[in-house]
Chain A
Amino acid sequence: MTETWFVILALTVGTFAIRLSGIFVGQMIPQQGPLASGLRAVPGCLIISLVAVSLLSGGPNEWGAGLVALVVAVATRNLPITMASGIAAIWLLRHFG
């Protein structure tokens, strides 16, 4: 409970600082070059790493459901539909796979 409040506070302060810093040091952030490309790539690399961590800790059921979710994500580009398909797929695989 207390830990959760700490996490919320730290994320609040940090995220606000990030938003503000874009305004005040925006002209100092390079728009081109290795640092700019690297910074732009952070979110995608972080999210795909999260996918990798969770699929590596799972087994064939998780891999199968991950594949279903990937196909749905590519086809629909829709978060709730992808989540619903992934949950449905893992449920089916665990109960009938």
Chain B
Amino acid sequence: MNAPQPVAADSWTVAGRTFTSRLIVGTGKYKSFEENAAAVEASGAEIVTVAVRRVNIADPKQPMLTDFIDPKKVTYLPNTAGCFTADEAIRTLRLAREAGGWSLVKLEVLGEARTLYPDMRETLKATEVLVKEGFEPMVYCVDDPIAARQLEEAGAVAIMPLGAPIGSGLGIQNRVTVRLIVEGAGVPVLVDAGVGTASDAAVAMELGCDGVLMNTAIAEAKDPVMMARAMKSAVEAGRLAYLAGRMGKRRYADPSSPLAGLI
């Protein structure tokens, strides 16, 4: 009999950094910093996404995210949410690098407000510039295997196709293309956006993704901390199912009990 694979031995590496949790969580939309911190803790995430925004100079002593989620314990992944051009995204990440002092970033360049669908022309342009400047961009993109390959060629350290529009919670809409991206990629692939509940995260992992990034599915759950736990379990379950190798599908029934020896 094969010895069971310990789950703890499973890890993934992006841009030379190794993580054991395959769940990346956002820090937006929470009712309070306390709830946010508790959800991050429950999710087991080692990376959290953060946005870069102006400080409120009218009230400089307001509590800050860094007071609740310690950047020394959890890797902050600055994003470019809200940027609609390559130039805006690059400017934002230059500031993020100065604020945090690291080069691992999440690039997203949006095409329109209604769908928050990525603008791939601007995304590719920004990726090229960022890589030249020494950034290690994990890139939010369309679920298109050709676009994914172009991003990887441009130096993206991770490919992050959407499962469905940001904040929609509709689940993985196109399993075929996500699977194609996974098969073709030489860098980690993470589903970013579209997860609504635990089974969606498991689907992403069963497709062979290296991880899942989500925000709204946890933050807008009735009990975000409990949902964070659910997502942790789902990502682990999906990963194990992928590694275990699922059974083949049949068109008709196949009995599990022996037919021989029936009375």
Determine if chain A interacts with chain B.
no
- B residues adjacent to A (C-beta < 8 A): none
